[in-house]
Structure 1
Amino acid sequence: MFRVMVNHARKHPSLIPLFLIIGSGGIGAALYVMRLAVFNPDVCWDKKNNPEPWNKLAPNDQYKFYSVNVDYSKLKKDRPDF
């Protein structure tokens, strides 16, 4: 499959940007799904030690990718300001 793509790209160089855009979109989608699978509190990989991880979240924990109405000045700082 990869060899066919390389042969097409050699014959038609205008296909190279198309391959790059589609490839970067696929990689971005895979990384986002991996992020959701690892950091989302609704997903539980270890059912023996922590069967309900969503119950251990504090009200100010941010687990969404983008929170709309958050006052970041009132959040607890985990690391020092430099």
Structure 2
Amino acid sequence: MSMLGTVAKQLKNHPALIPLFIFIGGGTTMSILYLGRLALRNPDVCWDRTNNPEPWNKMEANQQYKLFTINTDYSKLKKDRPDF
């Protein structure tokens, strides 16, 4: 009997475990998606050091890269660092 068949048999005998599997699966999915977003969208991560060695220096002052911010309007921020 396969592992999936064993789990299905247990869920038929104990239906109270179904929400546990749903929440664990949902949490795992959300954490994998967030880690993927961090790896692909975060300016601190650089996958190609030869063509783009310091991508964080190319960000404008009004660019938002956080997932969410509270009481911050990025369109009104001024650039506080010199141009490169």
Structure 1 partner of 2:45: 43
Question: Retained in 1: the 8 A contact 2:61–2:74?
Answer: no
The TM-score, its normalising length taken from structure 1, stands at 0.79
The TM-score, its normalising length taken from structure 2, stands at 0.77
Structure 1 partner of 2:80: none
Residues 1:51 and 1:73: Cα distance change in structure 2 (over 3 Å): closer
Q: Aligned residue pairs: how many?
A: 75
The sequence identity of aligned pairs, in percent, is 55
> What's the secondary structure of 1:69's corresponding residue?
coil
The residue type equivalent to 1:14 in the other structure is: A
Instruction: Show structure 2 runs of 5+ residues with no match.
Output: 78-84
Give the alignment's Cα RMSD to 1 decimal: 1.9
How far, CA to CA, are the matches of 1:74 and 1:61 in structure 2? 10
How far, CA to CA, are the matches of 2:25 and 2:70 in structure 1? 31
Structure 2 partner of 1:79: none
